[in-house]
Amino acid sequence: MTVRPTRRLRELLAGPDLVIAPGVADALNARIVAETGFDAIYMTGAGTTAVRLGMPDVGLMTMVEMADNAGRIADASGLPLIADADTGYGGPVNVMRTVRTFEKAGVAGIHIEDQQWPKRCGHLAGKTLIPAEEMAAKIRAACDARHDDDFVIIARTDALAVDGMNAALDRAAIYEEAGADLIFVESPRNMEEISAIPRALTKPALFNMASSGKTPFLSKEEIAAEGFKLAIYPNFALLSAISAVRKTLGELKRTGTVSHIVNDIASFREFFDLMGMKQVQEMEARYGINEASRVDY
Ligand SMILES: C[C@](O)(C(=O)O)[C@H](CC(=O)O)C(=O)O
């Protein structure tokens, strides 16, 4: 019997190692995360907004759009997925529906944050917060709503950038008390702030290895040594893709041909292998259809 993704995430979190979850915004990149051998995966909200809307992370995606995207990533990767669920998309009753919708999508856990809606990327200026008690009620509602006790609820606070470290840690304690399984203190700016976070908590801590440069770029050993349990790398796959696509299209525009770049990019074969064409052919063979397609591609 296959182990539920929620159980697998719980087992990873209970294990001795730092859990590393590269972020993606779509099913294709989810395949690459699985192929590379990671144990867990993250759905970035900033990346999802970029890929689905071509817009910045300022609270434009709806709950259903986010859960739909998450379901596709969970399916394509086969890995336990931690998904960005922004603010939970409303008050406690909205949060309950959010939890159930993400659960149904096959997600293993979500983080919800204490920003006011419309929220913005945690590494941008101009954030505003809801009161800590309001957020605590949302965390309680999230925990009550889950059908699967293994579904992981992560409370994120954006208070550090708004009200400072003491306020952020006070909020973290309130969210722990409300039942959060993990705590995500957004955008620590230096080693002193980074170190203070896991030390102050009673629950495991999430480290956001964001690309903004506001949080120092730490190695997995350094992140683990500080006492964090889960590290997300939201946008590095997407940022790599932007550079690669720009280079390829720039060459096409400049030279009018692709002949000189085909060896530098993924081949047609690699593309279909990555998408699971071999497995599709096996299924076709098992069900006796499409004899003609069972050739090498
Ligand atoms: C974690 C995050 O919410 C995301 O959308 O992935 C972003 C990450 C980023 O923009 O680098 C965040 O607000 O930190």
What is the rounded distance in angstroms from the CA atom of residue 227 to the CA atom of residue 198?
A: 6
In a domain, 196, yes or no: yes
Residues 29 and 155 in one domain: yes
Residues 133 and 229 in one domain: yes
In a domain, 256, yes or no: no
ipTM metric: 0.96
Q: What is the DSSP string of 275-289?
A: TTHHHHHHHHHHTT-
The helix (H) or strand (E) run that includes residue 155 is: strand 152-157
Q: Which atom of ligand 1 is nearest to the CA of 122?
A: 13
In the predicted model, is pLDDT for residue 291 greater than 90?
Answer: no
Residues 99 and 26 in one domain: yes
Which of 283 and 137 is assigned the larger pLDDT? 137
Active site residue 123: no
In a domain, 254, yes or no: no
In a domain, 25, yes or no: yes
Question: What's the rounded mean pLDDT across residues 120-136?
Answer: 97
pLDDT category, 89, cuts 50, 70, 90?
A: very high
Question: What's the rounded mean pLDDT across residues 72-99?
Answer: 98
Question: What's the rounded mean pLDDT across residues 158-182?
Answer: 98
Question: What's the rounded mean pLDDT across residues 92-112?
Answer: 98
Q: Which of 26, 114, 158, 186 is catalytic?
A: 186
Residues 121 and 39 in one domain: yes
Active site residue 156: yes
Q: Range of 274's domain?
A: 266-297
Residues 149 and 201 in one domain: yes
Residues 71 and 147 in one domain: yes
Of 186, 219, 234, the last residue of a domain is: 234
Q: What is the number of domains present in the chain?
A: 2
In a domain, 82, yes or no: yes
In a domain, 86, yes or no: yes
Q: Which atom of ligand 1 is nearest to the CA of 232?
A: 1
Q: Which of 10, 26, 57, 114 is catalytic?
A: 57
Active site residue 190: no
Residues 54 and 142 in one domain: yes
In a domain, 9, yes or no: yes
Question: What's the rounded mean pLDDT across residues 46-67?
Answer: 98
What is the rounded distance in angstroms from the CA atom of residue 41 to the CA atom of residue 59?
A: 22
In the prediction, which pLDDT does 285 show?
86
In the predicted model, is pLDDT for residue 294 greater than 70?
Answer: no
CATH number of 9's domain: 3.20.20.60
Q: Which atom of ligand 1 is nearest to the CA of 121?
A: 13
Active site residue 84: yes
Centroid of ligand 1 to alpha carbon of 208 (angstroms): 8
Kindly report, residue by residue over 198-226, the tens digit of the pLDDT: 999 999 999 999 999 999 999 999 999 99
Residues 153 and 292 in one domain: no
Share of the chain above pLDDT 90, in %: 94
Average pLDDT, the chain: 96
Q: What is the DSSP string of 200-257?
A: H-SS-EEEE--SSSSS----HHHHHHTT-SEEEETTHHHHHHHHHHHHHHHHHHHHS-
Q: Which atom of ligand 1 is nearest to the CA of 211?
A: 11
In the prediction, which pLDDT does 227 show?
98
Name all residues whose Cβ lies below 6 A of ligand 1: 23, 44-46, 57, 84, 121-123, 186, 208, 210-212, 234-235
Q: Which of 10, 26, 29, 84 is catalytic?
A: 84
Residues 281 and 226 in one domain: no
Of 234, 256, 274, the last residue of a domain is: 234
Task: Tell me the residue type at 163.
Answer: D
Centroid of ligand 1 to alpha carbon of 186 (angstroms): 9
Centroid of ligand 1 to alpha carbon of 261 (angstroms): 33
pLDDT category, 248, cuts 50, 70, 90?
A: very high
Residues 120 and 10 in one domain: yes
In a domain, 243, yes or no: no
Of 234, 257, 282, the last residue of a domain is: 234
Q: Which atom of ligand 1 is nearest to the CA of 120?
A: 13
Question: What's the rounded mean pLDDT across residues 159-163?
Answer: 97
End-to-end alpha carbon distance in the chain: 33
Centroid of ligand 1 to alpha carbon of 54 (angstroms): 15
Centroid of ligand 1 to alpha carbon of 107 (angstroms): 18
Q: Which of 8, 42, 140, 233 is catalytic?
A: 42
In the predicted model, is pLDDT for residue 190 greater than 70?
Answer: yes
Check if the beta carbon of residue 154 is closer than 8 Å to that of residue 176.
no
Tell me which residue of 204, 193, 189 sits closest to 155, measured CA to CA.
204
Check if the beta carbon of residue 54 is closer than 8 Å to that of residue 61.
no
Q: Which of 158, 208, 226, 235 is catalytic?
A: 208
In the prediction, which pLDDT does 293 show?
64
Check if the beta carbon of residue 83 is closer than 8 Å to that of residue 63.
no
- Read off the pTM: 0.97
Residues 150 and 273 in one domain: no
Residues 191 and 276 in one domain: no
